[in-house]
Amino acid sequence: MKSRNIRILLILAVLVCAGIIATQVYWVRSAYVLNEERFQLNVSIALRNAAESLMHAQGIQSNEPTRVEQLSTSCFAVHVNAPVPKGLLEAQLSSALAAQHVAADFQYELSANTATSPISYAGYIQMNGNSRAPEKLHDLPVQPSGHQYIGICFPQRASFLRSRMLPWAGSSLLLLIAIGFLGYLLFLNFQERSLVEVQKDFVANMTHEFKTPLASIRLGADVLKNPEITGQPQRLLSYATIISNSAMHLTSQVDRILQMSKAESEGLQLNRTDFVWQDLLRAELPAYAQLAAAGEGSVSLQLATVPIHFKGDKEHLKSAIFNLVDNGLKYSLAPPRVHISLQQEGKQIILKVRDEGIGIDKASQRHLFERFFRVHTGNVHDVKGFGIGLNYVRIIVRAHGGDVKCDSQLGKGSTFTVILPLS
Ligand code: ADP
């Protein structure tokens, strides 16, 4: 599937998930409000039933409907037109609330109908069967003489309502977990797809990389097969050189791939020896110059005068610097110019490979050292490569305790800085 379609599908999937989560939040909130309303209704019914039972027990018939007042979110009051015996009140309240499935702790108090001592008695009923001293309740309504009020409060109302929400919360949690799993699977799938893309790119690059030297070798060999060529030593030499250079190029590319896969499968084995950085770079300069000569370019060296001694894997470090120089030459318009500078700053060795080439955009700079990464040029393979060189450089430099970074400006050039700790 095209990546644009995948992106659209991904956006749709995210929107659907966001919609499901929003709906779920809405339902949970609505369920909570409904639960609150149901709680108030159940308590009102329970209080009315309790008050009517109490009057009935005293043989009092009232033609007035029993009125329940809500004093606050968790406190209620009900009017009883009869004397209320203490033992009977607790039992009636408990059974009326249980019948309405209100299994929450409650505190009750009975108005004494005198101004000096407004409460005749109070109690705190816990659902776990333990008893507690009652606290100060909501003020009961002012009572007309001869009337009594039962006040009842639910101090644990919020947690009781929350406990009733558990099935809702559980189902929402399961849904969130399912969405999380789906997201993770999607992420794995994308990761796999991008790996496949990377591998496809790698195979395409490798085919291009190998095609040109192989064609040169075939061409050169065809010419050498011609018996007439033996009489032309100059042409013989130039075709032999083409074949040799192409074979060398192929070998170096194969070596690069082998080095990388070996480092990956066996772990990087460093063969550390003592050397002086200036000597290494001076010895390598002819190889750089030969590389630059193909594009009529140049490589310059600017080295610190004080010898910089180092203990490291000379071969790997040589290949790493070669990669940087090679890139500087490859990614420049002709004639390419690469400048290498080496200096010591405190306890660090600073080696810079600067070019005046095409530069790298900011977004690509972030991925530069990732394996198989190549700056996107559409499907144009104008400069050949596998996208493993810089990753190799970073592996080698880090194995020596250092790091490598890139500063680049599109169209102006790039500077790769290798920082190594002095041994
Ligand atoms: P490659 O074999 O493709 O050169 P590298 O890992 O060496 O692989 O480089 C990765 C990518 O980084 C290259 O494809 C190129 O787009 C970009 N790049 C590396 N060095 C430079 C440079 N000096 N100037 C501009 N672009 C560069």
- What number of residues does the chain have? 423
The backbone region for 224, taken as left when phi is positive above 0, alpha when psi lies in -120 to 50, beta otherwise, is alpha
Given the CA of residue 390, which atom of ligand 1 is nearest to it? 6
- At what angle are helices 3-57 and 166-225 packed, to 10 degrees? 170
Q: Please state, in angstroms and rounded to a whole number, the distance separating the CA atoms of residues 149 and 51.
A: 9
Is 157 within 8 Å of 73 (Cβ atoms)? yes
Beta carbons within 8 Å of 412's beta carbon, 6+ residues apart: 356, 359
Provide the token pair at 309.
């001694």
Give CA–CA dist 8/5, Å, rounded. 5
CA-CA-CA-CA torsion for 161, 165, 167, 170, nearest 10 degrees? -130
Asked if 305 and 266 touch (Cβ cutoff 8 Å), the reply is no
Q: Distance of alpha carbon 100 from its chain centroid, rounded?
A: 49
Nearest to 269 by CA among 259, 255, 284: 259
Alpha carbon distance 408, 358 (integer Å): 9
DSSP 308: -
For ligand 1, mutation pick of 327, 355, 375 (most atoms within 8 Å of CB): 327
Token pair for 9: 């599908």
399 neighbors 414 (Cβ within 8 angstroms): no
Rounded Cα distance between 151 and 110, Å, is 6
- Ligand 1 interacting residues, C-beta cut-off 6 A: 323, 327-328, 331, 355, 357-358, 360, 368, 373-375, 385-391, 414
Q: Where are the alpha helices (DSSP H) in 58-121?
A: 86-99
Residue 131's pLDDT is what? 66
Adjacent-strand bridge partners of 150: 78, 110
Residue written as token pair 């110059």: 289
Whole-model pTM above 0.85? Answer: no
* β 148-153/75-80 pair status: antiparallel
**Which residue's entry shows tokens 């339902």?**
27
Q: Which of 380, 388, 390, 410 to mutate to test the pocket of ligand 1 (most atoms within 8 A of CB)?
A: 390
- The residue whose C-alpha atom lies closest to atom 11 belonging to ligand 1 is 374
- Residue 381: per-residue pLDDT: 46
Residue nearest to atom 7 of ligand 1 (CA): 389
Six-digit token pair at 33? Answer: 């409000």
292 vs 304: CA distance, rounded Å? 23
Whether residue 421 is preceded by a cis peptide bond, meaning omega within 30 degrees of 0, is: no
Question: CA triplet 409, 411, 416: central angle to 5 degrees?
Answer: 45
Residue nearest atom 19 of ligand 1, based on CA coordinates:
327
| 3-class state of residue 119 by DSSP | strand
8 Å CB contact between 365 and 408: yes
User: Tens-of-pLDDT digits for all 423 residues of the chain?
Assistant: 666 787 888 889 889 989 998 998 999 899 999 999 999 999 999 999 988 888 888 787 777 778 888 888 888 988 877 777 777 888 888 889 999 999 888 888 887 655 555 566 778 888 776 666 666 655 555 555 556 778 888 988 888 898 888 888 888 899 889 989 988 998 898 888 878 877 777 787 778 778 888 988 998 888 888 888 878 888 888 888 889 888 988 887 787 788 777 777 777 788 899 999 999 999 999 989 988 988 889 999 999 999 999 999 998 899 899 999 999 999 998 799 999 999 999 999 999 999 999 999 999 999 999 988 888 765 444 666 778 889 989 999 999 999 999 999 999 999 999 999 997
**What number does the ligand 1 atom closest to the CA of 323 have?**
7
Nearest CA to ligand 1 atom 9: 387
Read off the DSSP letter of residue 398.
H
pLDDT at 410: 92
Q: What is the Cα–Cα distance from 377 to 383, expressed in whole angstroms?
A: 10
Would strands 348-355 and 413-421 be described as parallel, antiparallel, or unpaired? antiparallel
CA of 269 relative to ligand 1 center, distance in Å: 25
Task: Count Cβ atoms below 10 Å from residue 260 Cβ, excluding itself.
Answer: 17
Cα–Cα distance measured from residue 73 to residue 36, given in angstroms and rounded to the nearest whole number: 9
